[in-house]
Chain A
Amino acid sequence: MPIDKFIKISSPVVPIAIENIDTDQIIPARFLKATSRDGFGDNLFRDWRYNNDNTPKTDFPLNDKRFSGTILVGGKNFGCGSSREHAAWAISGYGFKVVISSFFADIFKGNALNNGVLPVQVSESFLAKIFDAVKKDNKTQIVVDLENQKVTIAATGETEGFEINKYKKTCLLNGYDDIDYLLSKRVEIEAFEKK
């Protein structure tokens, strides 16, 4: 599907300081029964977000009024486990545009990029600085600049670069999608098949 163009984002963040956040936590399997891409945001982090009686867990960051914004910050190895793209749909459906972590699982990273969600991988120390900055000021602004591949803690001016391959960057900045590109390569693919 054509994805939204990614523009520079400055936003407060929602911090979840847990490592190895797997896709079963992001969207539990029992919510994978839809046949469209819509509505997954409602069940993002379902079992961490709600009690057994479906009342919100007030201490979970998504329910904590102190936190808001379009940037999710998670611990190391974010998105491990299942290949379910529903995890990226849930994150995007909830309204997040960026996930920051010190390490991403491969399949999740690809799924996020294919849905206009930017995975920003920073160093362990920079991730700790972001968590600290949020602790000090819940509304601290984090600036994610895709064009210049930089993430900045606005309050302190501390900044770190992040990697993204040039092709994916161009896709995100312009809202291009891979399938249009692959369809344009049809002749080359058919020639490859004949080899």
Chain B
Amino acid sequence: MGKTLFDKIWDSHVVSKIENGPNILYIDRQFIHEVTSPQAFTGIEKRGIKVFRPAQITATADHNIPTINQHLPIKEELSRIQVDTLKANCERHGITHYGLGHELNGIVHVVGPELGYTQPGMTIVCGDSHTSTHGAFGSVAFGVGTSEVEMVLASMCIMQPKPKKMRITINGELGKGVTSKDLILYILMKLTANGATGYFIEYAGSAIKNLTMEGRMTVCNMSIELGARGGLIAPDEKTFEYVKGRTFAPKGADFDKSVEKWKQLFTDADATFDVEYTFDTTDITPMLTYGTNPGMGMKITDKIPAIDTIDEAGRETYVNALEYMNFNAGESLIGKQVNYVFVGSCTNGRIEDLRALASIVKGRKKAANVFCYVVPGSKMVEKQAKAEGLDKIFEEAGVQFRQPGCSSCLAMNEDKVPRGEYCVSTSNRNFEGRQGPGARTILASPLLAGAVIVIGKITDPRELL
């Protein structure tokens, strides 16, 4: 019987199998950042061992860093200590480190692909659940805890049971104003926040094929919001073209040899999945969330579902969510005033996202009630945006263009949304307090965020295109 793409990559990385237990899985590349790595370094140092393969590890500071005045020392002491600790750990163990202010610094899941570290067929881990992003290249990439970060530092391996397999096929073409973010929010609405727990997803179908690499990254990024271990997409010419020429990608004849290998990375016609779902793009519109997990989403033109449509066991969560968000069942969100807009994150902080935003705000002014900032995913994205004059477009519209980092996606730095305020955010999680204690997050695409910036209220972005 044929193998799935996931099987091909996973199986070729199994060092050995423990009977009735996990597989020992070899990891090709580990990314680390300041928040989930310090305890792992302490762990190996306490054991008196060295990092096993430092050349296969890349570090960047992202979660905790300010998005203004990055040339100055970090004001907040604990954040500064964490960022400094990462630098010291990397220096001590010979690990490449893109610290604050470095020209290649940025969010780990933006930096990895843009520098060509992320390649088809690899196994990739990072102490961050959005590591699933790298699956867009046809790699098996997933988030791990700090104990597992330590395992990889120590042995380049982790111990994992093999997940079950799911395929989500989306056919058709996305309509005007409908983005890859809407596509994944739509899947989340259909399958819920635990719809793929225990599974590794392969995304397929013409709608996925038609996405750009950055669009594919947005989709794979939010696999974890479905509960999935990760999500991946078979590599194709678009993938090879994206990787070609990047700093750490293979070069010349090595690249051609790699492409020949990468071309074998697809699901065989007779391979089977544990579960399959199929959707059609004709049903997908601009999306947004109304609740406190990413599965609580709806079409912009819909109304918040009534309680009797919710599973009985989920009703308490649903009631709590609406109370937290101060929304009512049955209401439309169109026209709702929103004072905060955040554009950025590993989900939607890449150059195409900034271009999409610029396409809406260009020649327009932000609404008076709106406070908004755009945080590029990396220094390279920042540089590219400036080269294209996007920073000027934002400035003229009254939108702040900041320096890179995770910023308001999880608000570990000072970029917090005040208690009780709504924030339309291009990030990935709308959990209670995610963007600051008491903050109310509405997840959406950069286009919808742009519409809110200029109108000051929730607006269907298609009206402005």
Chain A interface (Cβ < 8 Å from any Cβ of B) = 1, 17-20, 22, 24-25, 28-30, 32-37, 47, 52, 75-77, 80-86, 88, 103-107, 110-111, 114-115, 124, 165-168, 178-179, 181-183, 185-186, 188-189, 192-193
- Taking CB atoms, residues of chain B closer than 8 Å to A178 are 147, 151, 159
**Could you say which of A47, A165, A186 contacts B432, with CB atoms under 8 Å apart?**
A47
From A52, A168, A193, contact of B21 by CB (8 A): A168
**Assuming the A-B contacts A19-B313, A105-B197, A111-B147, are A82 and B82 also in contact, with contact meaning beta carbons closer than 8 angstroms in the complex?**
no
When the two chains form their complex, are residues A166 and B20 in contact, meaning their CB atoms are under 8 A apart? yes
CB-CB nearest in chain A for B80:
A33
Contact for B194 among A88, A105, A114, CB less than 8 A: A105
27 of the cross-chain contacts (CB-CB < 8 Å) are A29-B410, A33-B81, A33-B412, A35-B81, A47-B437, A52-B438, A75-B313, A77-B227, A83-B127, A83-B129, A83-B144, A103-B194, A104-B197, A107-B144, A110-B144, A110-B148, A165-B20, A165-B22, A178-B147, A179-B47, A179-B147, A182-B154, A183-B154, A185-B24, A185-B155, A189-B15, A189-B24
Inter-subunit contact B154/A85 (CB<8 Å): no
Residues 15-38 of B, flagged 1 when their CB comes within 8 A of A and 0 if not, give 110111110101000000001101
CB < 8 Å: which of B26, B42, B131, B159 contacts A189? B26
- Is B456 an interface residue, CB under 8 A from the partner? no
Verify B129–A81 contact, CB threshold 8 A: yes
- Shortest C-beta distance, B465 to chain A (Å), equals 33
Give, as a whole number of angstroms, the nearest-CB distance from B225 to chain A: 8
- Verify A103–B431 contact, CB threshold 8 A: no
Q: How close is B270's CB to chain A, nearest CB, in angstroms?
A: 27
Q: Are B18 and A182 in contact (CB under 8 A)?
A: no
Having A25-B431, A28-B433, A111-B145, one finds 17 other A-B pairs with CB under 8 Å, namely A19-B317, A24-B431, A32-B35, A52-B437, A82-B128, A82-B129, A82-B429, A83-B129, A84-B36, A85-B127, A88-B145, A103-B194, A114-B147, A182-B157, A182-B159, A183-B49, A188-B16
Name the B residues within 8 Å of A36 (CB-CB). Answer: 38-39, 42
Chain B residue contacts of A81, Cβ below 8 A: 129, 224, 429, 431
**Distance in Å from the Cβ of B10 to the closest Cβ of chain A?**
14
Residues of A within 8 A of B197 (CB): 77, 80, 103-106
B85 within 8 A of A: yes
Partner of B43, one of A1, A182, A193: A1
Near A by CB (< 8 A), chain B positions 136-158 give 143-148, 150-151, 154-157
Asked whether B431 lies within 8 Å of A165 as measured between CB atoms, the reply is no
Complex: how many Å from CA A88 to CA B36?
13
Q: In the complex the two chains form, what is the Cα distance from A189 to B23 in whole Å?
A: 13
How many angstroms from the CA of A6 to the CA of B163 in the assembled complex?
26
> Which residues in chain B, 186-222, are within 8 Å of chain A measured between CB atoms?
193-194, 197-198
Interface centre among B85, B160, B161, B229 (most CB of A within 10 A): B161
Task: Decide: B39 and A192 in contact? CB cutoff 8 A.
Answer: no
User: In the complex, are the beta carbons of B161 and A165 less than 8 A apart?
Assistant: yes
